[in-house]
Amino acid sequence: MLVRYLAILVTLACASGCVTVGYEGALGYRSRNAAEQQDAQAFVELMEEASEAEPKSRLDNPKKTVLTHFLDLAKDPAYLQTIDAWNAKGWIDEDMICPVYRAHFGAHAQSSPKQAQASAQLCLQRARAASLAKDRAWEVDLCLMGAPFFTKTSTPTLQPYLQMATSPDEPEPFRRAMLKGLTFREDFSPRERWGVTSTLTPDAQKLFTHRQARQWQRRLTWLLDTLQDKVPATELAIASARGVMEVEQVMNSRGQSFVARYAASEDPVRRQWAWAWVRALKHAEPVDHLGGLGIWDRGREPSGDAYWYICHGPAVLNEGGVLGPRYVAEARSLQSQVRLAGGPDAPAMACAAPEQQIGPFPLEQIARAVAVQQLKASLPTGARVIVRITTRKKTKNP
C-alpha cells in the first residue's frame, strides 16, 4: 500500500517534470540515478533545487519526488540529520514523515536495533494521535499498514506491539488500527522498481508471490492463535479481514485456500472468523486485485452471509487446448442463507458419493478451491485441475 502510494507520487511528479526539461534532466530521473548510486550528497543539491522549483501541475510536487527517492538511502549515516535539516526548512510534508521513519527502521533493524526502535516508536506515536483525530485517519495507514516493524521482524519482537494492541489503557481506535496493522500485508509479488525491467519470467514471479504469501500465512496464523483469547472474535475478524483476504487471493489463484481451514474448524470461534472476514470485506470498498474472489460480485455473492456447498464429479483428463493437459471436473453449487444441518441436503445436491460434497464455505471461490485440493489428492503430483461449475442453485429462506 505504501509502496504503491509513493510510486504514484513519483510517477506523477516525474511525468510533469519530464515534459518541460526532458526525461534525463527531470528531477525524478536524476533522483533515481542518485539513489541507485547511493549518492547522498547529490540529494542535498537535488532538494535545494526542488525547493525552488515551481510545480508544473496540481499533481506535481518536486520536493516529494526527491524525498521519495531519498528513502532508498536510509542506511546512510547522515540520513536522519539530512531529514532533520529538511524538516526544519519545512520541506517535508506531513504525509511523508512516517514513510521517512519507516524506511529508517527497515534499514537499521538489524544493524542498529535501538535507533530503529526509536523510529518505530515515532510512527506509533503519530498513529496514536492520528487515530483520535477525524481529519487525520489517512496518516494511520501511512504509519502502520505494511510497516516493516510489523512485517519484517521475528515473532518475538512483536510482543510489545501485541501488548499495546490489547491494552485497555490504549485508545480503542488506536488498538483497532494496531490489530489491523499487525495482520496486514499486501504486495507479495516481486517489488517493481521505477525504471528497472524485471528479469523474472511470469512463472518465476508467480512462484515468488506464492512463497511470500505462504510465509505471511504462517505469520498470520501465529498472530490469530496468539490473539484469539485476548480480543473479541468479531473485533479481531474485522481488524484482520483485509490481511487474511490478501493471503486468500494468492492461495485461491493456485487452487488452495487459507480461509477454508477456519470455516471447517471444530472451534466455533474460528468458524465465526471465516464468515466475519468475508462479511467485513463485503461492506468495505472494493479492492481491484481481490476481485477474483468474487466478494463484491453481486451477481453471484449476496451482500450478506452465504453458505456455499459444492457437489463435484470426477476429474477427467483433457489433453487438448492451449493451456496444455489438465483435469476438468464438473460441479454444481448450492447457496444457502443459513448453515444446513448435517451438510448439503440430498435432494438439493444429489451427489453420487458423500466424499463429493464440499461445504459449507463463505465464498463460492473458497468452496471451489477446496474441491480442487480434494481432487488433486488422488491425481499425479503437479496435475492441473479445474472445477467447472455448471449449475448454481439457491435454497429458499427457512
User: Quick one: DSSP state of residue 391?
Assistant: E
Is 389 within the bounds of a domain?
Answer: yes
Provide the β-strand partners of residue 1.
none
Residues 206 and 225 in one domain: yes
Residues 251 and 288 in one domain: yes
Is 121 within the bounds of a domain?
Answer: no
- 309's enclosing H/E stretch is strand 307-312
Reported as a single tens digit per residue, the pLDDT across 242-269 is 999 999 999 999 999 999 999 999 999 9
Among candidate residues 290, 305, 320, the one where a domain is terminated: 305
DSSP 3-state of 219: helix
- Helix, strand and coil content of the chain, in percent to the nearest 5, comes to 60, 10, 35
Domain tally, the chain: 2
Residues 296 and 316 in one domain: no
Residues 285 and 326 in one domain: no
DSSP 3-state of 116: helix
Is 124 within the bounds of a domain?
Answer: no
Count of residues in the chain:
398
Residues 276 and 212 in one domain: yes
Nearest to 49, CA basis, from 98, 94, 91 = 91
User: Quick one: DSSP state of residue 92?
Assistant: S
Q: What is the predicted pLDDT for the residue at 192?
A: 64
Is 178 within the bounds of a domain?
Answer: no
Is 246 within the bounds of a domain?
Answer: yes
Residues 365 and 390 in one domain: yes
Record the pTM.
0.86
Distance CA 43, CA 119 (A): 21
Residues 338 and 348 in one domain: yes
Residue type, 395: T
Residues 390 and 375 in one domain: yes
Residues 289 and 300 in one domain: yes
CB 383 within 8 Å of CB 373: no
Is 272 within the bounds of a domain?
Answer: yes
Residue 349 backbone zone (phi > 0: left; psi -120 to 50: alpha; other: beta): alpha
Is 249 within the bounds of a domain?
Answer: yes
Nearest to 118, CA basis, from 133, 131, 105 = 105
Q: Which three cell numbers stand for residue 17?
A: 517534470
Asked if omega into 354 is within 30° of 0 (cis), the reply is no
Structural domain range at position 365:
307-394
Reported as a single tens digit per residue, the pLDDT across 28-65 is 999 999 999 999 999 999 999 999 998 888 888 999 99
Q: Which three cell numbers stand for residue 334?
A: 448450492
pLDDT tens for each residue of the chain, 398 residues long: 555 555 545 444 444 444 344 567 789 999 999 999 999 999 999 999 999 998 888 888 999 999 999 999 999 999 999 999 999 999 999 999 999 999 999 999 999 999 999 999 999 999 999 999 989 999 999 999 999 999 999 999 999 999 999 999 999 999 999 999 999 999 898 876 655 556 788 889 899 999 999 999 999 999 999 999 999 999 999 999 999 999 999 999 999 999 999 999 999 999 999 999 999 999 999 999 999 999 999 999 999 999 999 999 999 998 877 777 899 999 999 999 888 875 544 456 668 777 788 999 999 999 999 999 999 999 998 899 999 999 999 986 55
Residues 214 and 247 in one domain: yes
Residues 232 and 256 in one domain: yes
Among candidate residues 250, 273, 305, the one where a domain is terminated: 305
Among candidate residues 288, 305, 322, the one where a domain is terminated: 305
What residues contact 183, with CB distance under 8 A and at least 6 apart? 220, 223, 224, 239, 240, 243, 244
Is 19 within the bounds of a domain?
Answer: no
Distance CA 237, CA 259 (A): 12
Residues 210 and 285 in one domain: yes
